[in-house]
């Protein structure tokens, strides 16, 4: 829809436009979209049957909303996408600081303009993308920032007393009249500042330095909070919580498939890399499994959560590791390797909060442990499970492979070796082919060498082989021999 050409109050009165609250506007447009089956919350994968229905009910009820969830659960994105439920254009009195509706002004300034100009009052148009305000609640936020303050310069210039409404400098909330206002991390806001929101939410009043002003603001408030904040840094004061209509719980992806779709949607991968680098499906599964392992790890603080951004940035690092190898080896194409997962450790380190035991281990060790745990979790889906206590007189499917390493054989995989030499090194272990033929006979040839590496890393994760990291690459050795050498 193009911007309306109406420029005066007289022209506006001749149209079908009628004032309505932002809550009515959101609810009305949501009803229409639901009836027509039109999309309105795009890209919020995994919320289709949980969070979004709750959000729809809150909007239809005309509630202010509190989105409660751990970091990286798309709370701000949910709020931003609510703008799609607003009318595309709304009229405002030209020059109004608080977006006064020409047919229903609330500020003294706008009322005086309309009294003076009458039907010739100039009208401007505001697009829905301009109707989103966002503020991060930090301890240094003041009432003046949010509500407003008396402006002494304005009072002196206009020769007005401090009791005059015209000397008020409006804060962010009054300026968000007829808009969506998001206040992130609400518990971080000082209690006395939270109290200042009471009157706005309930009585439609603002109070500035003892100056009480009836200002019927129409604002859709969306608050966000992390459950951790209730105990660690502060809380939402009870009277304010009581005035928030709906509290909606967000969550992390319930399974790997949903997590993969989110990562695929959010990760930035160039077209060139997509064409040059093959990514086995198992590599994608393994990457997401790291996040699931982190959320239940004894080394990671569960109250802090593990953001979905960890998987997104880790995926980008995984691709960059392969790209770097291509640049060095001068190959035209490559496939993701297990050694590339060592390149995602830097992405993991910044996304997890460690408990005391994790701090003792060190961030790098914890990240490596999470990768190893993810391998152990997925290993039984592709190869026979490795039991801690093996049955006597029963040959293990890995016996010949482990026996090859026990005869003082070693396998060294250089990080930046070209595809030909990398595959040649893996083919040099004779027992691998037998295992792959028996348990992965229908595997796509493109994924073959990644699966071979996964087999070796899986044996190491289950303590059947020993893996040593060097500056140049990774060396696989017999676990018993390595243990004896250490002794």
Buried b (16+ CB within 10 A) or exposed e, 206-245: bbbeebebebebbbbbbbbbbebbeeeebbbbeebeeebe
pLDDT of 234 reads: 59
| Residue 163 confidence (pLDDT) above 80 | no
Q: Where does the pLDDT of residue 228 fall: very low under 50, low under 70, confident under 90, or very high at 90 and above?
A: low
How many Cα atoms within 13 Å fall on the side-chain side of residue 295? 19
Quote the CA–CA distance of 22 and 6 in Å, as a whole number: 21
Helices then strands, each counted (H, E), the chain? 24, 16
Q: What is the pTM of this model?
A: 0.86
Tell me the C-alpha to C-alpha distance, in Å, between residue 402 and each of 305, 345, 454, 455, 456: 39, 28, 15, 12, 10
Regarding predicted confidence, which is higher, 228 or 20? 20
| Residue 483 confidence (pLDDT) above 70 | no
| Residue 23 confidence (pLDDT) above 80 | yes
Domains of the chain: 9-249 (3.40.50.300), 256-486 (no CATH)
N-term to C-term CA, the chain:
77
Give kind and range of the element (H or E) at residue 266.
helix 256-266
pLDDT of 141 reads: 87
**237 DSSP assignment:** -
264-270 mean pLDDT:
94
Burial class (CB within 10 angstroms; exposed 0-12, middle 13-18, buried 19+) of 42: exposed
User: Tokens representing 172?
Assistant: 């962010």
Q: For the chain, give the percent of residues with pLDDT over 70.
A: 92
User: Tokens representing 448?
Assistant: 């073959």
Cβ-based neighbour number of residue 160 at 10 Å:
13
| Residue 277 confidence (pLDDT) above 80 | yes
pLDDT of 138 reads: 84
pLDDT of 484 reads: 53
Phi, psi of 159 (to 5 degrees): 55, 50
31-41 mean pLDDT:
90
pLDDT of 482 reads: 47
* pLDDT winner (highest mean) among 141-155, 160-174, 215-229, 396-410: 396-410
Quote the CA–CA distance of 181 and 100 in Å, as a whole number: 16
pLDDT of 167 reads: 75
Range scoring the smallest mean pLDDT among 92-101, 181-190, 331-340: 181-190
Q: Considering only CA atoms, give the Rg of the chain.
A: 30
Quote the CA–CA distance of 89 and 482 in Å, as a whole number: 71
Phi, psi of 474 (to 5 degrees): -125, 135
Alpha-helical regions (H) of 330-478 = 345-349, 356-361, 363-378, 399-406, 419-427, 430-439, 448-461
pLDDT of 211 reads: 67
Q: For the chain, give the percent of residues with pLDDT over 90.
A: 65
Quote the CA–CA distance of 484 and 487 in Å, as a whole number: 5
**101 DSSP assignment:** B
| Residue 221 confidence (pLDDT) above 80 | yes
128 contacts 86 by C-beta, under 8 angstroms:
yes
Quote the CA–CA distance of 456 and 428 in Å, as a whole number: 13
Q: Which residue has the tokens 């026979």?
A: 384
Cβ-based neighbour number of residue 40 at 10 Å:
15
Q: What is the per-residue DSSP string for 127-180?
A: EGGGSEEEEE--TT--HHHHTEEE-HHHHHHHT--TTSGGGEEE-HHHHTTTSE
138-151 mean pLDDT:
83
pLDDT of 232 reads: 47
| Residue 397 confidence (pLDDT) above 80 | yes
User: Tokens representing 157?
Assistant: 């210039």
Range scoring the smallest mean pLDDT among 74-88, 123-137, 153-167, 232-246: 153-167
Quote the CA–CA distance of 178 and 25 in Å, as a whole number: 10
- Chain segment 421-448, per-residue pLDDT in tens: 999 999 999 899 999 999 999 999 999 9
């Amino acid at each position: 829809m193009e911007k309306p050409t109406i420029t005066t109050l007289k022209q506006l009165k001749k149209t079908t436009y009628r004032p309505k609250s932002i809550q009515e506007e959101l609810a009305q447009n949501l009803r229409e979209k639901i009836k027509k089956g039109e999309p309105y919350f795009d890209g919020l994968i995994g919320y289709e049957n949980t969070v979004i229905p709750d959000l729809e009910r809150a909007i239809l009820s005309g509630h202010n909303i509190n989105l409660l969830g751990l970091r990286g659960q798309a709370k701000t994105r949910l709020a931003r996408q609510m703008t799609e439920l607003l009318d595309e254009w709304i009229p405002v009195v030209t020059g109004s600081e608080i977006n006064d509706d020409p047919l229903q002004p609330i500020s003294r300034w706008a009322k005086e303009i309309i009294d003076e100009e009458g039907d010739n009052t100039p009208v401007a148009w505001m697009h829905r993308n301009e109707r989103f305000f966002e503020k991060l609640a930090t301890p240094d936020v003041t009432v003046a920032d949010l509500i407003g303050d008396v402006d002494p310069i304005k009072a002196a210039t206009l020769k007005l007393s401090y009791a005059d409404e015209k000397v008020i400098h409006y804060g962010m909330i009054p300026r968000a009249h007829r808009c969506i206002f998001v206040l992130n991390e609400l518990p971080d806001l000082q209690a006395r500042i939270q109290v200042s929101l009471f009157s706005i939410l309930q009585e439609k009043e603002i109070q500035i330095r003892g100056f009480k002003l009836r200002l019927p603001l129409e604002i859709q408030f969306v608050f966000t909070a992390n459950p951790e904040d209730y105990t660690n840094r502060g809380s939402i004061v009870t009277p304010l919580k009581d005035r928030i209509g709906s509290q909606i719980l967000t969550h992390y992806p319930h399974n790997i498939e949903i997590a993969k779709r989110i990562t695929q949607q959010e990760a930035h991968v160039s077209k060139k890399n997509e064409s040059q680098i093959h990514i086995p499906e198992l590599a994608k599964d393994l990457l997401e499994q790291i996040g699931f392992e982190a959320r239940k790890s004894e080394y990671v603080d569960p109250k802090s959560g593990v953001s979905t951004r960890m998987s997104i940035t880790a995926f980008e690092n995984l691709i960059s590791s392969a790209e770097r190898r291509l640049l060095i080896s001068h190959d035209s194409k490559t496939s993701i390797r297990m050694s590339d997962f060592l390149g995602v450790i830097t992405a993991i380190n910044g996304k997890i909060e460690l408990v005391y035991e994790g701090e003792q281990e060190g961030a790098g060790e914890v990240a490596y442990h999470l990768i190893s745990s993810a391998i152990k979790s997925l290993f039984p889906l592709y190869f026979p499970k490795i039991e801690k206590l093996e049955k006597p007189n029963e040959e293990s499917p890995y016996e010949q492979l482990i026996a090859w390493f026990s005869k003082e054989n070693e396998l060294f995989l250089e990080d930046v070796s070209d595809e030909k030499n990398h595959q040649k090194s893996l083919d040099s272990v004779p027992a691998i082919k037998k295992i792959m033929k028996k348990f992965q006979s229908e595997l796509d040839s493109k994924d073959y060498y990644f699966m071979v590496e996964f087999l070796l890393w899986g044996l190491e994760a289950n303590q059947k082989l020993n893996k040593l990291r060097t500056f140049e690459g990774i060396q696989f050795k017999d676990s018993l021999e390595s243990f004896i050498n250490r002794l």
